[in-house]
Amino acid sequence: MSPRVDTILQSLTLEEKICILAGKDFWETVPVPKKGIPAIKTSDGPNGARGEVFADGKRAACFPAAVCSAATWDPVNAKRIGHALAEETKTKGARVLLAPTMCNHRHPLGGRNFESFSEDPLLAGKMASNVVSGLQEKGIAATIKHFVANEQETDRLAVDTIVSERALREIYMKPFEITVKEAKPLAVMTSYNKVNGTHADSHSFLLKQVLRGEWGWEGLVMSDWGGTNSTADSLNAGLDLEMPGPTRWRSVDAVTTAVKKGEVTEATITERARNVLNLVEKVGAFENPDIPPEQSIVDPKHSKLIRDVAGQGITLLKNDDRILPLKKSDMKGKKIGLFGLAKKALIHGGGSASLNAHYRISPEEGLKAAYGNDVEFKFAKGVQTYRLLPPLAKGCTDLQGSAGWTMEFFKQDRTAKPIKTTNGFKESSFSPILDNEAKNNEVKLTATFVPIESGSHYLGCSGIGPTVVRINDKVVFEQKDNSPDPMGFLLGGNPEKEFRVPFTKGESYKIEINSKPPAGSGNWGILADLPGFRMGFMHKKEHDVDMFTQAKEVAKECDIAIIFTGHTPVWETEGQDQLSFNLPRDGSQDKLVEIVASVNSTTIVVNSTGVAVALPWLSKVSALVQAWFPGQEAGNAIADVISGAVNPSGRLPISWPMRIEDAPAYGNFPGEEDKAGQRTVKYEEGVFVGYRHYDRLAKDVVHFPFGFGLSYTTFAIHNAQVSLMSHDAFKAAATVKNTGSISGATVVQLYVGRKQHSSEHPVKTLAAFKKVLVEPGQEQRVEMELALKDFAYFDEAARAWKVDRGQYDFSFGQSTADIESVVTMDIGESRELKL
């Protein structure tokens, strides 16, 4: 208990206590100056402190995505990132970082997988707990999210996740439990979805019984943005802070009415307020209440860290005939063809993880810096990878004759007189998220457009609510209904149907775009009552260009071809799940690889996604490098691995299935809607997620198993031993030898499972791991500690963690499929462990 917080609480009226239980605005809490309570500021997100502006705000450092840092299999890296994120957060005037994201990779099409660490709860928990420790050691509150079972983006505001308590405990809550117990995060963010019929923000079992009860956690629980769904229920369940503000559910009138009706007690209000004030105190805001202006500071130490961690996370998946590395000394006078997304730095996914990076090094820039003038580089893009046509900006003049568009706000259905007019608006899209003046109004953009060439050009349009496009007063597009995917719209990936309009070069065309807020009822979250739209445009010549032929000709004349594939932020993003297991767009990236590989026998693919994707061309390429989303130093980190300056040591934190049909959640993702429009997703695979599922199959259905990764050297594990340290703790050790010719690092992975397999339990479970650097020809002894809880199962009938008596195999390897040493231990009696 804090004397200062107690004193302040005693001075507050009921109304004042209610006021601090919701945000002031999008990022800050409510201050009560006359009672000495300052506001504190929060900031996204998991791979960089973005600050208060979603797009084009103050520049910020972009760190490797969580899945990339997890691929290092090194919690030390996670703590180093946490330290740096804390320093970055301070430059944005914030005291609370909305990170890390730590939901499990349940299905390869999960839109937000890249933002989370792994399919395995132990690996995810160890990485997340170290990020939290790093943040909080430097005075910034971590917010672990999203609690819990938020493994999809489809209908994320309302989907009902039906999941067994065993699967919740062993898979989905386990990373949170590890992080809470090891790192004591100051804040937890609830998820949008329902869990077994109850919204997570109002879930007493999750928040009261488990989080605050069994785990003994003391801290602040906040909602996801727009993720509060009730007044009394969320207060009673333990949701301290509704975000963002202004409040939708916790007005003084609403809460005082609930108190008067006996739906919530004043003691509960006081407890919620206490948790808010405790956070204010723990981040030092009472002593220093100022919120300084945002700054953009490029820290060379952070740049080096980003490049280092990215290089360790990049994972070499195929390397036929040791084609890699392409050593600079061997490349002199060679001609290297760069294809696909070589000029695009795929540094992060979309949504909360996106930011305006200090800089972004493309693969082309990184490779040119690495090889200098010794190599001649040729480039052919080969594919169009846009998801939406780019907004129309060039050739447009507003109503005053200046470059851009005129934006007008009107009261709905009263368009004779605007209530706000802005000229010089940049382009044909309007995102309302931070413009409170747009609320309950309709918006119109107007411009005169003069095309630079004649033709039947391509347009595409979508809106949050009903939207109309007119050209010279003629309707060319009308969306009569609300967007089927409002968050997808907000984050740039809403599906749009392209249409064509004839234009004549040099003629003037008046274009008007009208959009209204969503009509009718519905769960719109932070987009409620807000209009928004985008209209894209592309000239016919640019749209229909034959890029494949150009790429084929370049590939023929090059000694080596490197194709850069992947997902841009609109293809892999918060707000919606992936459209396909195949790379976008419409199979064009896969076709590009096939075409280039057919004419160049030394073809290397570098893929940047946060998830596994289909690899129909895998047998036709010489090498495959999985680069993930490696942050602002992407091109340099990729060049380090390609050139051999860095020996790759990344290991997969996910399994990589050959077909989406073989994924454990296939058929149960993203669930089904009933007649009333309520979506339900059933976690029928239970605890058999990722490798726990693939281990049970009679045939090999993965391209690459969990934990897999190649190096430019080789390793062997031998002389494994396991000993009992105490009643429930073990010490494990093994010797690692570098059997190759250069220095390198590998990960010793220890899995535990019953010697006699059972259909009710995984074949084996990751129970410990350690990354080790070994010099060529040398050996190193690796020691790890683990406890019974690390491979226990949850018995729902007994409501306890258990380890049954019997023989258990302790398997040491470098992936789930590469087990090199097994020690069998006998557990003489069944054990029941505390919750």
The structure tokens listed for 374 are 């010794």
Identity of residue 190: T
The structure tokens listed for 636 are 């340099």
Name the β-bridge partners of 455: 503
Q: Residue 711 maps to which CATH number?
A: 2.60.40.10
Instruction: Please count the other Cβ atoms lying within 10 Å of the Cβ belonging to residue 365.
Output: 18
Q: Within a domain: residue 71?
A: no
Q: Are residues 678 and 727 in the same domain?
A: no
Per the CB < 8 A criterion, the answer to whether 468 and 478 are in contact is yes
Q: Are residues 712 and 821 in the same domain?
A: yes
Q: In what order do the strands lie in the sheet with 499-503?
A: 429-430, 533-538, 455-463, 499-503
Q: Are residues 304 and 427 in the same domain?
A: no
- Secondary structure in 3-state letters for 132-180: HHHHHHCCCEEEEEEECCCCCCCCCCCCEEECCHHHHHHHHCHHHHHHH
Instruction: Tell me the C-alpha distance between 551 and 554, whole Å.
Output: 5
Q: Are residues 439 and 503 in the same domain?
A: yes
State the virtual CA torsion across 584, 587, 589, 591 in degrees, nearest 10. 180
Per-residue pLDDT averaged across 554-570, rounded?
Answer: 97
Q: What are phi and psi of 51, to 5 degrees?
A: 95, -165
Q: Are residues 537 and 519 in the same domain?
A: yes
Position 436 pLDDT exceeds 70: no
> Into how many domains does the chain fold?
4
Whether 240 is catalytic: no
Query: What pLDDT does residue 434 have?
Result: 54
Tell me the Ramachandran region of residue 719: left when phi exceeds 0, alpha when psi lies from -120 to 50, beta otherwise. left
Query: What pLDDT does residue 529 have?
Result: 84
**CB-based contacts of 615: which residues, under 8 Å, 6+ apart?**
624, 658, 703
Q: What are phi and psi of 256, to 5 degrees?
A: -65, -35
**Domain termination site, one of 694, 724, 743:** 694
Per-residue pLDDT averaged across 666-686, rounded?
Answer: 96
Query: What pLDDT does residue 489 have?
Result: 75
Q: Are residues 495 and 578 in the same domain?
A: no
Instruction: Tell me the C-alpha distance between 33 and 693, whole Å.
Output: 55
Place of tokens 């999985």: 626
Q: Within a domain: residue 105?
A: no
Q: 3-state DSSP call for residue 57?
A: coil
**Domain termination site, one of 255, 282, 309:** 282
Give the helix/strand (H/E) hosting 588: helix 588-599
Query: What pLDDT does residue 484 have?
Result: 76
Q: Are residues 222 and 275 in the same domain?
A: yes
Q: What is the pLDDT of residues 310-366, one digit of tens each?
A: 999 999 999 999 999 999 999 999 999 999 999 999 999 998 899 999 999 999 999
Instruction: Tell me the C-alpha distance between 771 and 72, whole Å.
Output: 8
Per-residue pLDDT averaged across 435-445, rounded?
Answer: 84
832 vs 680, higher pLDDT: 680
Q: Are residues 515 and 405 in the same domain?
A: yes
Q: What is the pLDDT of residues 460-469, one digit of tens each?
A: 999 989 999 9
Per-residue pLDDT averaged across 77-97, rounded?
Answer: 98
Q: What is the pLDDT of residues 195-230, one digit of tens each?
A: 999 999 999 999 999 999 999 999 999 999 999 999
Instruction: Tell me the C-alpha distance between 635 and 627, whole Å.
Output: 10
Q: Please pick, among 74, 155, 201, 224, the residue that the annotation labels catalytic.
A: 224
Q: What is the pLDDT of residues 368-425, one digit of tens each?
A: 999 999 999 999 999 988 888 999 999 999 999 999 999 999 998 787 889 999 999 9
Q: Are residues 489 and 531 in the same domain?
A: yes
Q: Within a domain: residue 191?
A: yes
Instruction: Tell me the C-alpha distance between 767 and 744, whole Å.
Output: 24
Bridge-based pairing of strands 194-195 and 160-162 is parallel
Instruction: Please count the other Cβ atoms lying within 10 Å of the Cβ belonging to residue 621.
Output: 23
Q: 3-state DSSP call for residue 506?
A: coil
Long-range contacts of 282-289 (CB under 8 A, 24+ apart): 282/141, 282/186, 283/40, 283/95, 283/96, 283/139, 283/140, 283/141, 283/186, 284/95, 284/139, 285/38, 285/39, 285/40, 285/95, 286/4, 286/36, 286/38, 289/31, 289/38, 289/39
Position 544 pLDDT exceeds 60: yes
Q: 3-state DSSP call for residue 513?
A: strand
Name the β-bridge partners of 577: none
Tell me the chain's radius of gyration from C-alpha atoms: 27
If you write DSSP's letter for every residue of 367-412 in order, what string do you get? HHHHHGGGSEEEEE--S---SSPPBP-TTEE-TTSSBSEEEEEEET
Instruction: Tell me the C-alpha distance between 655 and 567, whole Å.
Output: 19
State the virtual CA torsion across 766, 771, 774, 778 in degrees, nearest 10. -30
Instruction: Tell me the C-alpha distance between 114 and 346, whole Å.
Output: 12
Q: 3-state DSSP call for residue 258?
A: helix
Per the CB < 8 A criterion, the answer to whether 179 and 148 are in contact is no
Q: 3-state DSSP call for residue 562?
A: strand
Query: Of the candidates 453, 488, 454, 638, which has an alpha carbon nearest to the alpha carbon of residue 563?
Result: 638
Q: Are residues 415 and 506 in the same domain?
A: yes
Q: Within a domain: residue 148?
A: no
- Secondary structure in 3-state letters for 300-321: HHHHHHHHHHHHHHCEEEEEHH
Q: Within a domain: residue 60?
A: no
Query: What pLDDT does residue 528 have?
Result: 79
Instruction: Tell me the C-alpha distance between 342 and 692, whole Å.
Output: 36
Instruction: Tell me the C-alpha distance between 370 and 444, whole Å.
Output: 49
**Domain termination site, one of 250, 282, 314:** 282
Q: What is the pLDDT of residues 462-519, one digit of tens each?
A: 998 999 999 999 999 999 988 877 777 777 667 788 999 999 999 999 999 999 998 8
Q: Residue 502 maps to which CATH number?
A: 2.60.120.260
Please state, for a pLDDT cut of 90, what percent of the chain lies above it.
88
Q: What is the pLDDT of residues 688-746, one digit of tens each?
A: 999 999 999 988 999 999 999 999 999 999 999 999 998 889 999 999 999 999 999 99
Position 435 pLDDT exceeds 70: no
Q: Within a domain: residue 64?
A: no
The structure tokens listed for 32 are 């009560």
**Buried-state track 261-279, b at ≥16 Cβ within 10 A, e below 16:** eebbeeebbeebbbbbbbb
State the virtual CA torsion across 347, 353, 358, 360 in degrees, nearest 10. 10
Per the CB < 8 A criterion, the answer to whether 734 and 790 are in contact is no
The structure tokens listed for 507 are 């003629």
Q: Residue 209 maps to which CATH number?
A: 3.20.20.300
Give the helix/strand (H/E) hosting 597: helix 588-599
- Expressed as residue numbers, the domain containing 29 is 1-36+187-282
Query: Of the candidates 108, 139, 102, 106, which has an alpha carbon nearest to the alpha carbon of residue 123?
Result: 102
Instruction: Tell me the C-alpha distance between 544 and 125, whole Å.
Output: 47
Query: Of the candidates 692, 720, 697, which has an alpha carbon nearest to the alpha carbon of residue 707?
Result: 692
If you write DSSP's letter for every residue of 620-636 in order, what string do you get? G-SEEEE-----TTHHH
Instruction: Tell me the C-alpha distance between 670 and 167, whole Å.
Output: 17
**CB-based contacts of 826: which residues, under 8 Å, 6+ apart?**
806, 807, 808
Q: Residue 564 maps to which CATH number?
A: 3.40.50.1700
Q: Within a domain: residue 166?
A: no
Query: What pLDDT does residue 204 have?
Result: 98
Q: Are residues 412 and 428 in the same domain?
A: yes
- For the chain, the average pLDDT equals 95
Q: Are residues 417 and 458 in the same domain?
A: yes
Residue 394: C-alpha distances to residues 402, 403, 496, 543, 650 (Å): 12, 8, 21, 16, 43
Please state, for a pLDDT cut of 70, what percent of the chain lies above it.
99
Query: What pLDDT does residue 506 have?
Result: 95
Give the helix/strand (H/E) hosting 130: helix 121-137
Per-residue pLDDT averaged across 147-151, rounded?
Answer: 97
Q: Within a domain: residue 802?
A: yes
The structure tokens listed for 313 are 């996370």
**CB-based contacts of 408: which residues, under 8 Å, 6+ apart?**
418, 420, 421, 422, 443, 444, 445, 446
The structure tokens listed for 346 are 């795929």
Query: What pLDDT does residue 791 have?
Result: 97
Tell me the Ramachandran region of residue 323: left when phi exceeds 0, alpha when psi lies from -120 to 50, beta otherwise. alpha
Instruction: Tell me the C-alpha distance between 146 and 193, whole Å.
Output: 10
Q: What are phi and psi of 211, to 5 degrees?
A: -60, -55
**CB-based contacts of 275: which residues, under 8 Å, 6+ apart?**
219, 220, 221, 240, 241
